[in-house]
Amino acid sequence: MLNLEAEIKSLIIDTLCLENISPEDIISDEPLFGDGLGLDSIDSLELGLAVKKHFKVPLDSSSEETRSHFASVNTLKLFIESYRNTQ
Amino acid sequence: MSKKIAKHWSQKPESGAYWGMFFMLWSYRLLGKHIIKIFLFPVMCYFFIVNSSARKASYKYLSKVHNVTGKNPPTIIDRFGHFWAFGNSLIDRLGAWTGQVKRSHVVFEKRQLLFDMIDNNKGAVLITAHLGNIEMCRALAENTRQLKINVLVYTHHSPSFNRLLKNINKNESVNLIQLTEISPNTIELLENKIDAGELVIIAADRTSANSPDRVCRVNFLGEEANFPQGPFILSSLLKCPVALLFCIKRNGRHEIQLEPFANPLELPRRERKQCIHNTVEKFVLRVEHYCKISPNQWFNFFDFWKK
């Protein structure tokens, strides 16, 4: 099974067509939005949709909570893992 | 950069707007729409004289419309007429909010098109502009079979204003969604609404201060201007019918113009840049069409062609 962290990174790159960025360039504990990777709110729309479809996780919590799940690759990984554990 | 942001339309202070609107609303309730118009005249004269940036922006816009339609340059009467139309639209808005706009005030010829669009119980995205008075569509929701409307708004612009709106908005068929709260679950939220047969309305003429790079420069009335990509990307992600919606006041009546746009709107990743550009161009052509018909209904009083 593919490492979840790597899977998230390649999903980000594929979904947003990030040219010239390889999975190694995305630092797992750096913010995805704003300062770190520099994604914007439109990216967040697309990424949310892709994560929901790819990992089959529901995004039914509040906007604020969802945003905190999507803060970095690490938080996203924790979110997906904890959802899987409840299943 | 900071200079650019400082002059963005969303940064304009709205101090006093809350109390101004509060006062207007109660005057409207107490005096009615005809008497309030007597007060509107000096108020709009005052703004016309004092607000030079709005006056200049209006002049620039009117000159372009007159130019492309082959008319003489705008006179002082044309220019005040633009402000007057805006003042009147505020009063119409008060009427819409307080539920006093009835179906008979609104002409909606393509009503059937809307029903056909949402016939299989799937909703639609309606893309609009600050052209005319979209508030009049409230009358549509109020008078139409259980139609629910969601309007995406930039509320960081005017939180107090929207608070006021919420207080008076007893009509639960219109729901305001804050665009400043965009998050990874926004599409999920909107998808649920579309799946429930609801409408999602979004304006696509003002760029977002948060994503200054997500714009297309498109010819509008003879000169290139920035239009946002966000509303079109959002529409494409929802994979539902997309139509254009404008509500323009002509000869004292509100005409709802609904035009099919795409079903669904597709922006394939590979040719995305070109696709978005073409889509925005297609939208702007229609906006331009209505600007030419009703020049006074354009309600963007800031330098629209600013680079």
> For B45-95, how does the pLDDT look when each residue is reduced to its tens digit (9 = 90+)?
998 999 999 999 999 999 999 999 999 999 999 999 999 999 998 888 878
Q: Looking at CA atoms only, how far is residue B179 from chain A in angstroms? A: 10
Number of Cβ within a 10 Å radius of residue B73: 10
d(CA B281, CA B275): 10
Q: Which residues of B touch A60 (CB under 8 A)?
A: 185, 188
Judge whether B126 and B200 are in contact, CB under 8 Å: yes
**For residue B184, which phi and psi values (nearest 5 degrees)?**
-60, -15
How far lies B209's CA from each of B8, B53, B198, in Å? 7, 19, 28
Query: A14-61: per-residue pLDDT in tens?
Result: 999 888 899 999 999 999 998 888 898 889 999 999 999 999 999 888
Judge whether B18 and B216 are in contact, CB under 8 Å: no
Query: B263-287: per-residue pLDDT in tens?
Result: 999 998 888 899 999 999 999 999 9
Among A13-17, A50-54, B125-129, B153-157, the range scoring the smallest mean pLDDT is B153-157
Query: B166-182: per-residue pLDDT in tens?
Result: 666 655 677 878 877 78
The answer, as to whether pTM is greater than 0.95, is no
How many A/B residue pairs have CB atoms within 8 Å?
64
Q: Looking at CA atoms only, how far is residue A49 from chain B in angstroms? A: 7
Query: B296-305: per-residue pLDDT in tens?
Result: 999 999 999 9
d(CA B106, CA B247): 9
Q: Which residues of B touch A48 (CB under 8 A)?
A: 183-188
d(CA B75, CA A41): 43
Q: By CB neighbour count within 10 A (0-12 exposed, 13-18 middle, 19+ buried), where does B27 fall?
A: middle
Q: Read off the tokens for A49.
A: 């949709």
d(CA B263, CA B87): 36
Q: How confident is the model at residue B26 (pLDDT cuts 50, 70, 90)?
A: confident
Query: B131-152: per-residue pLDDT in tens?
Result: 998 888 776 666 666 788 898 8
Q: How confident is the model at residue B117 (pLDDT cuts 50, 70, 90)?
A: confident
Label residue B102 left, alpha or beta by phi (over 0 means left) and psi (-120 to 50 means alpha): beta
What average pLDDT is seen over chain B? 85
> pLDDT at position B94, please?
79
Q: How confident is the model at residue B258 (pLDDT cuts 50, 70, 90)?
A: very high
Mean pLDDT value across residues B188-212 = 90
Q: Which residues of A touch B234 (CB under 8 A)?
A: 42, 45
Handedness of CA B187, A56, A35, A37 (dihedral sign): negative
Greater confidence (B212 vs B2) lies with B212
Mean pLDDT value across residues B194-214 = 89
Residues of A with CB under 8 A from a CB of B: 17, 40-42, 44-49, 51-52, 58-61, 63-64, 66-67, 69-70
> pLDDT at position B2, please?
41
> pLDDT at position B4, please?
44
d(CA B168, CA B98): 7
Handedness of CA B297, B254, B124, B191 (dihedral sign): positive
> pLDDT at position B15, please?
47
Helices (H), A1-87: 4-16, 41-55, 63-69, 73-86
Q: Looking at CA atoms only, how far is residue B18 from chain A in angstroms? A: 27
Q: In this structure, are strands B215-220 and B223-228 parallel, antiparallel, or unpaired?
A: antiparallel
